[in-house]
Amino acid sequence: MMHNMVKVLDKVIGFKTAQAHCDIPCKIYDPSTALLAALSCVRLMDLIKEIEDKDTLTVADYAQIARLVGEKESASTEVKEAVRIIWGDYFKAPQFEQVPNAHDLTHSIMLQASKCKQGIKREEGEKLVSLVNEFAAAFWLTKGVATYTAPCPYPPMLDTVYPDLKG
């Protein structure tokens, strides 16, 4: 009964929808989301380049480019959001003491992700992956977890920072 009253009120008043990562806080943070999004950005740039390199383009190719560009821009935005959440919700004074360049690094990631949204140069995507790797290493440092770097096992096969959870 109460639920039905709230639904009616919502239709009349139009309650605003609340959105948050986890302002409880949940204490579940992991830079892997940002890394996957950055790697996806590079992969999408590669796929765009494959179409660009064709001698002739079909309507289907143009449609595919439009989809790839949209996904690339979405992946770039996902990088920004994932890093912003960790930087804003997880990092506090103790983490900033461990990682004194955290503000500059985060800002650099934001700017680089914007460059990736604006263009299709693979080098810009690679730079984004590199910055997010640096951020991931810093994050795991604050958790006292060692990291290692290895190529990701899927295209674009770029070096990626992983937490060493065996130790």
What does the block give as tokens for 10?
């919502």
Q: What is the pTM of this model?
A: 0.85
Structural domain total, the chain: 1
**Residue 136: inside a domain:** yes
Q: How far apart are CA 56 and CA 58, in angstroms?
A: 7
Taking only the tens place, the pLDDT of each residue in 9-49 is 667 777 676 555 555 567 789 999 999 999 999 999 999 99
pLDDT, residue 68, reads: 98
**Residue 82: inside a domain:** yes
**Residue 19: inside a domain:** no
**Residue 11: inside a domain:** no
Handedness of CA 98, 150, 77, 17 (dihedral sign): negative
Where residue 42 sits, what CATH number does that domain have?
1.20.120.400
Domain that holds residue 131: 29-163
**Residue 16: inside a domain:** no
**Residue 101: inside a domain:** yes
**Residue 56: inside a domain:** yes
What does the block give as tokens for 143?
């958790």
Taking only the tens place, the pLDDT of each residue in 87-132 is 999 999 999 999 999 999 999 999 999 999 999 999 999 999 999 9
Work out the pLDDT band at 3, boundaries 50, 70, 90. low
155: Cβ contacts below 8 Å, ≥ 6 apart: 43, 46
